[in-house]
A and B are shown apart, each in its own frame.
Chain A
Amino acid sequence: MARLPLQGIRVADFTWAWAGPYATMLLGLMGAEVIKIESTKRPDHSRMRSLAAGPTFGGPNQAPIFNDLNLNKMSITLDMTRPKAVELAKRVVRISDVVAENFRPGVMDKLGLGYEVLKEVKPDIIMLSSSAVGGTGPNRHYVGYAPTFAALGGMAHLTGYPDSAPIPMMGSSDLRSAATSAFAILAALYHRAQTGEGQHIDLSSTETIAVLVGEAFLEYTMNGRIPTREGNRDRIMAPHNVYPCQEENSWVSIAVATEEEWQALCHTMGDPAWVKDEKFSDAYRRWQNQEELDRLIGEWTINYSPTEVMEKLQKVGVAAVPSFSGLELFQDPHLKERGFAKEVQHPAIGKRLVVNAPWKFSATPAEVSRYGPLLGEHNQYVFGELLGLPQDEIQRLVAEGVIN
């Protein structure tokens, strides 16, 4: 079996909710052994509050969202209020390469697991602390979730219809932050491979979102101007929008960048008389008159399904892609062929379709290999085999509620 890129790397994963776990899951997809340190007293957020919980929700091992965000990982349970549990956690850290946590700044310190302490335990440990606004600064103790990252980071202000309020941009902000975390950890691993040095990574989710809207800042620093919401508009492309299709609430996105593409679009629409109007005769004029342009194009797309529009336009080299719903993402033939989704068998909730690894490595194929762990599923393996605790000690710790 092919070696995976992070094979041999072990992550002591203290993260919870979305932003942290997705980061460590990415590492897990690449082959790292991710040990999620949980507690039955205070289970991970996403085990309990799940959008897809539904009426059949039956407990912390049945949350589909948790499953989606914690594939490939192992789970141990420790009551972190107990000193002995903290010791055990340190022992896990001792045999790990990476520690990841996304508590509010100060929490790990209070638990006795701050970076300075963990550095004593393992001098070259790489520790990621992901928080809403970072580990330093006057607001570091503030609470933040995904919507606040986008709001504070400036992306929310730029997203939305021109005539209404900023759009909150939900969980995806977490996942964007998580991807940045994973990248930072990989960079630190590389540095450690070169120098033997570990380090502490202080990651502010707000900042990870802010860097994605750089132009807006430059507009301000260069010209003192504050960009705002433009709906689906582009700086200069037109047409550039989503257009209504035959079925209720079905949409196709179309974007035209060059004169050739415009001609191809007109031709595909059957060269209606209105395309010859002076108003649409060059890129600049199309942009100026795009409201009318959008309306007219919508009158064409409404006769077709999004897939039909995509096929007609892609054939002539025009960028058109349906606005996929969640279901359509799983049904789309292209994504299917790419292996976008994988079926995972979960002991409690059965067969689930999950999103597979987002990279296709030619030599070290990263992929989903197991379901999100049941609570404490790997206590025996971690404490017994990895830490080498004798069986009776484990039983005692369970009885004491240290391992809970």
Chain B
Amino acid sequence: MAGVKVLEYADLISGPYCTKLLSNLGAEVIKVEQPKAGDYSRSVGPFPNDVPDPEKSGLFLYLNANKLGITLNTKTETGLALFKELAKSVDILVENHPPQEMEDAGLDYPSLRQINHRLIMTSITPFGQNGPYRDYKAYDINIQAAGGLAYVTGDAKREPLLTPWGQAGYQAALNAAIGTLSALYWREASGLGQHVDISVQECIASILGDVISFYSYMGMVKPRCTTLSDLSGVTIWPMDIYECKDGYVDICILEPHQWQSFVDLIGNPGWASDPKFEDRRLLFERTEGQEVPDLGPLIKEILKKYTVDELFHGGQQRRIPITPVNDAQGVLHFPQLKERGFFVEIDHPEAGRLTYPGAPFKLSETPWSLERPAPLLGQHNKEIFSNRLRYPKMELVKMAEAGII
């Protein structure tokens, strides 16, 4: 994506992760932050040694590496005028502000299209640009609730569960990247920009698996469950996280031959020779009232005798989908990730040398790049306002004193 220019006007995860993907593919991303405070994620940890510092937020550093950073107070007329000047010169604008706020500021798509008809503007909001919930307030937990994900996550006997650390934001970012790139591809032929409207609720509702189908095909409401069970909660198939001797493993057996291998792995216990377990289809076709043995307690008992490594590698040698449940330490030391060079070390002027997860794809001709650290607040003001937009340096000083940048 070399040569593509992106303007980012977004906080936290949904906007910044989207543009991070674009920047890893070579696009130039200019990130607009409010003066003094900057992106809200600067105030969110983790921080090295637990000392809060707006230039050392782990979340900010991770999501904003590779980008150029400028400050702009879009609550002032001068700030808005500068923003529009920038919007004129870029291919893509990614923003995640409430629709009404953008409209009030004169930064909605119809307004910006007037100044740049080739602009692709991607707006990410909890519920989209229209509809009865358009102006509703929603944080990550609320969107997971509204998207139907929370309801089916967790224990049926307890409250719904959040999938933590901003997952709704990441899903939105991915959808936004797709919409943006589709629009970009289309623009090659048509010469026109367009508005990409992302509702995070819809992004979540799209990944519910079979929840919607369960209702539209069978009129049934899928409850919370952690394993593949029938609707009464009985485990009919090993598809869950199990505790073993020194940790947890995740087992996800889908096919009959995997079940056979699994039985072999755990030493062919007696109960496993029940023919019911050979073909899952039989389990689903069973008639009303037919007893199904609950595999759960049986498996749990046996697995406690094995270590994670034994189950992981032993299982994989038999082509069974068993993997460890890693914590952050496990992730960073996971041999496969390390071998493929997934992690990158980058030097940041304030935070020092840190290891970051890399980009999620390997392209043979256009490998992803992740070299520049996240910008300090306003680090590239001079580069952008002075060198590119040709404002004299003294004027930048005045603008800074007036709180414009």
Taking beta carbons and an 8 Å cutoff, which residues of A are in contact with B?
235-236, 278, 281-285, 287-288
How far, in Å, is A81 (CB) from chain B's closest CB? Answer: 59
A283 touches B402 (CB 8 A): yes
| 20 A-B pairs whose Cβ atoms sit less than 8 Å apart in the complex | A235-B398, A278-B77, A281-B76, A281-B77, A281-B78, A282-B76, A282-B77, A282-B78, A282-B404, A283-B76, A283-B402, A283-B403, A284-B76, A284-B398, A284-B402, A284-B404, A285-B78, A287-B398, A287-B402, A288-B398
Measured between beta carbons, the chain A residues less than 8 angstroms from B78 are: 281-282, 284-285
Measured between beta carbons, the chain B residues less than 8 angstroms from A236 are: 398, 401-402
A391 to B129, CA, bound (A): 102
A287 to B394, CA, bound (A): 13
How far, in Å, is A262 (CB) from chain B's closest CB? Answer: 11
B399 within 8 A of A: yes
A281's closest neighbor in chain B, by CB? B77
B399's closest neighbor in chain A, by CB? A284
Measured between beta carbons, the chain B residues less than 8 angstroms from A285 are: 77-78
Measured between beta carbons, the chain A residues less than 8 angstroms from B399 are: 284
Measured between beta carbons, the chain A residues less than 8 angstroms from B79 are: 282
How far, in Å, is B151 (CB) from chain A's closest CB? Answer: 45
A287 to B399, CA, bound (A): 10
How far, in Å, is A159 (CB) from chain B's closest CB? Answer: 21
A281 to B76, CA, bound (A): 7
How far, in Å, is B202 (CB) from chain A's closest CB? Answer: 37
B404 touches A283 (CB 8 A): yes
Measured between beta carbons, the chain A residues less than 8 angstroms from B401 are: 235-236
How far, in Å, is B274 (CB) from chain A's closest CB? Answer: 75
A235 to B399, CA, bound (A): 11
How far, in Å, is B82 (CB) from chain A's closest CB? Answer: 10
Interface of A is mostly: helix
A235 to B401, CA, bound (A): 8
How far, in Å, is A325 (CB) from chain B's closest CB? Answer: 33
How far, in Å, is B225 (CB) from chain A's closest CB? Answer: 54
B76's closest neighbor in chain A, by CB? A282
A234's closest neighbor in chain B, by CB? B401
* Complex interface residues of chain B between 361 and 405 (CB less than 8 A to chain A): 398-399, 401-404
A282-B76, A282-B77, A283-B402 are known; give 11 further A-B pairs, CB within 8 A. Answer: A236-B401, A281-B77, A282-B78, A282-B79, A282-B402, A283-B403, A283-B404, A284-B398, A284-B399, A285-B77, A285-B78
Measured between beta carbons, the chain A residues less than 8 angstroms from B77 are: 278, 281-282, 285
B404's closest neighbor in chain A, by CB? A284
Measured between beta carbons, the chain A residues less than 8 angstroms from B404 are: 282-284
A285 to B403, CA, bound (A): 11
A281 to B402, CA, bound (A): 12
Per-position contact with A for B56-79: 1 when CB-CB < 8 Å, else 0?
A: 000000000000000000001111
A378 to B171, CA, bound (A): 91
A287 to B404, CA, bound (A): 12
How far, in Å, is B308 (CB) from chain A's closest CB? Answer: 59
Cβ-closest 6 pairs across A and B: A236-B401, A282-B76, A284-B402, A283-B402, A281-B77, A284-B78
A236 to B79, CA, bound (A): 16
Measured between beta carbons, the chain A residues less than 8 angstroms from B76 are: 281-284
How far, in Å, is B70 (CB) from chain A's closest CB? Answer: 16
Per-position contact with A for B212-234: 1 when CB-CB < 8 Å, else 0?
A: 00000000000000000000000
A285 to B76, CA, bound (A): 10
A163 to B403, CA, bound (A): 29
Per-position contact with A for B127-141: 1 when CB-CB < 8 Å, else 0?
A: 000000000000000
Measured between beta carbons, the chain A residues less than 8 angstroms from B398 are: 235-236, 284, 287-288
A293 to B191, CA, bound (A): 45
How far, in Å, is A223 (CB) from chain B's closest CB? Answer: 9
A283 to B77, CA, bound (A): 9
A278 to B77, CA, bound (A): 8
Measured between beta carbons, the chain B residues less than 8 angstroms from A288 are: 398
How far, in Å, is A43 (CB) from chain B's closest CB? Answer: 51
How far, in Å, is B168 (CB) from chain A's closest CB? Answer: 34
* Complex interface residues of chain B between 344 and 376 (CB less than 8 A to chain A): none
A388 to B167, CA, bound (A): 92
How far, in Å, is B81 (CB) from chain A's closest CB? Answer: 9
How far, in Å, is B386 (CB) from chain A's closest CB? Answer: 15
A313 to B399, CA, bound (A): 27
How far, in Å, is B163 (CB) from chain A's closest CB? Answer: 41
Measured between beta carbons, the chain B residues less than 8 angstroms from A281 are: 76-78
Measured between beta carbons, the chain A residues less than 8 angstroms from B402 are: 236, 282-284, 287
A288 to B77, CA, bound (A): 13
A278 to B78, CA, bound (A): 9
A284's closest neighbor in chain B, by CB? B402
How far, in Å, is B74 (CB) from chain A's closest CB? Answer: 11
A285's closest neighbor in chain B, by CB? B78
How far, in Å, is B345 (CB) from chain A's closest CB? Answer: 35
Residue among A235, A278, A282 facing the most chain B CB atoms (10 A cut-off): A282
Measured between beta carbons, the chain B residues less than 8 angstroms from A282 are: 76-79, 402, 404
A288 to B403, CA, bound (A): 14
Measured between beta carbons, the chain B residues less than 8 angstroms from A278 are: 77
How far, in Å, is B9 (CB) from chain A's closest CB? Answer: 18
Measured between beta carbons, the chain B residues less than 8 angstroms from A235 are: 398, 401
* Complex interface residues of chain B between 32 and 84 (CB less than 8 A to chain A): 76-79
Measured between beta carbons, the chain B residues less than 8 angstroms from A283 are: 76, 402-404
How far, in Å, is B122 (CB) from chain A's closest CB? Answer: 28
A279 to B401, CA, bound (A): 17
A288 to B402, CA, bound (A): 11
How far, in Å, is B80 (CB) from chain A's closest CB? Answer: 9
A282 to B78, CA, bound (A): 7
A164 to B372, CA, bound (A): 51
A315 to B233, CA, bound (A): 69
How far, in Å, is B71 (CB) from chain A's closest CB? Answer: 13
